[in-house]
Amino acid sequence: MNIIIFGPPGAGKGTQAKFIANKFNLYQLSTGDLLRNEIKNKTELGSKISSIINSGELVSDKTVSSLIEKFVSSDNYKHKIIFDGYPRTLNQAKNLDELLEKYKQKVSIVLKLSVSLETVKKRILERKTLEKRADDSEEIAIKRYKTYEKSSEPVIDYYKQSNLLKVVNGEAGISEINSEISVLIDTIKGWL
Ligand code: AMP
C-alpha cells in the first residue's frame, strides 16, 4: 500500500501522515523535511533551495524527484510509503507514476485535506510559535496557499481521473480527521 497525502500548508498533512505511518506501519516520506534537512546540513543543494523555500515557492520538479527515487527503489519501503507533500505538480505526479511502475508498485489512495485560507493562516501562526519554521509567516503562508492552489489543481484532476482521490475535511479536529482517514484506508486495504 502506497498513500499520497495532499493539502495546503497548515492543513495538518504532516500530523496526519505521521499518524497513518504509525498506525499502518508505513514510512513517512516528507519532501519538505528532506529539503529542510539539506538546508540544516548546509549542503550545496541546501544553499540553492533555502531562498526558494523561504519565499513560499516550489523547488524544481527535478530536484524533488531526484530525492525520492532512493526510497521508492528500496526494498525496505516497498509498498510502504506515505508520500507527504509529494507530488505537488502534474509533472511530479507523472514522474511518480513512472518511478512506481519501474519498481512494480502503485499508488493505492490519494488523500486530499481541504482547508480554507482563513484556517491555514491561523494554524501557521500557531505553528510558528512551536516550530520556528522560517517559511511560517502570514505573508508567506498566503503565498504558499496560492502556490498550492495553482500547482495542485492539475494534480487533483489527474488523481480524480484514476478514481484514487478521496477528499477529507481538514477543518475538523485532529482525532476526527484521524478516524475519517483510518476508515478510508481500512476500506482500500480490504480491496488490496
Ligand atoms: P512542506 O513541509 O510540505 O510544507 O514543504 C515546505 C516547502 O518545501 C514548500 O513550500 C516548497 O518550497 C518545498 N517543497 C516541499 N515539497 C515539495 C515538492 N513536492 N515540490 C516542490 N517543492 C516542495
Please report the pLDDT score of residue 192 as a whole number: 67
Are residues 9 and 144 in contact, defined by beta-carbon separation less than 8 angstroms?
Answer: yes
Question: Measured from the CB, is residue 53 less than 6 Å from ligand 1?
Answer: yes
Question: How far, in Å, from the CA of 192 to the mean position of ligand 1?
Answer: 30
Question: Measured from the CB, is residue 59 less than 6 Å from ligand 1?
Answer: yes
Tell me the three cell numbers of residue 5.
497525502
Please report the pLDDT score of residue 119 as a whole number: 92
> In the block, which residue shows the cell 513517512?
28
Question: Measured from the CB, is residue 86 less than 6 Å from ligand 1?
Answer: yes
Question: Measured from the CB, is residue 95 less than 6 Å from ligand 1?
Answer: no
Give a three-class secondary structure readout of 89-133: CHHHHHHHHHHHHHCCCCCCEEEEEECCHHHHHHHHHHHHHHHCC
Tell me: the pLDDT tens digits for 103-127? 999 999 999 999 999 998 888 888 7
The pLDDT of residue 191 is above 80: no
Of 69, 59, 56, the residue nearest 120 (C-alpha):
56
- Closest atom of ligand 1 to 84 CA is 3
Tally of CB atoms within 10 A around 132: 8
Are residues 103 and 72 in contact, defined by beta-carbon separation less than 8 angstroms?
Answer: yes
Percentage of residues of the chain with pLDDT beyond 70: 99
CA atoms of 41 and 45, how far apart (whole Å): 10
Give a three-class secondary structure readout of 34-66: HHHHHHHCCCHHHHHHHHHHHCCCCCCHHHHHH
Task: Output the pTM of the full model.
Answer: 0.92
Question: Measured from the CB, is residue 80 less than 6 Å from ligand 1?
Answer: no
